[in-house]
């Protein structure tokens, strides 16, 4: 599949890519902020590992929010 340049994309494709990029960036920023502010005993596993895992596309931050935080009692 040939790679497309930004100038070759349609305006709707550009908007979709910008939306996905901003969604991924905000998920990453939110996850990293939560990891840094949360006490270590409120995180399942080491915080540094979750910070590294959060760098993996959409799946890292989503998995942190699903599995990395301990539920409040």
1 in a structural domain:
no
pLDDT category at 2 given cuts 50, 70, 90 is: confident
2 in a structural domain:
no
* Token pair for 21: 């990029």
pTM value is: 0.83
Mean pLDDT of the chain: 94
Q: Which domain holds residue 54?
A: 10-68
CA distance 62 to 71: 15
* Token pair for 31: 């996850």
15 in a structural domain:
yes
3-state secondary structure the chain: CCCCCHHHCCHHHHHHHHHHHHHHHHHHHHHHHHHHHCCHHHECCCHHHHHHHCCCCCHHHHHHHHHHECCCC
Check residue 25 and give its pLDDT: 96
Provide the number of structural domains found in the chain: 1
50 in a structural domain:
yes
């Amino acid at each position: 599949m040939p790679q497309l340049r930004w100038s070759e994309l349609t305006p709707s494709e550009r908007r979709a890519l910008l939306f996905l990029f901003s969604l991924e960036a905000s998920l990453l920023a939110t996850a990293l902020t939560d990891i840094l502010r949360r006490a270590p005993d409120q995180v399942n596993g080491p915080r540094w590992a979750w910070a590294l895992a959060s760098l993996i596309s959409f799946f890292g931050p989503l998995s942190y929010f699903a599995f990395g935080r301990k539920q409040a009692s």
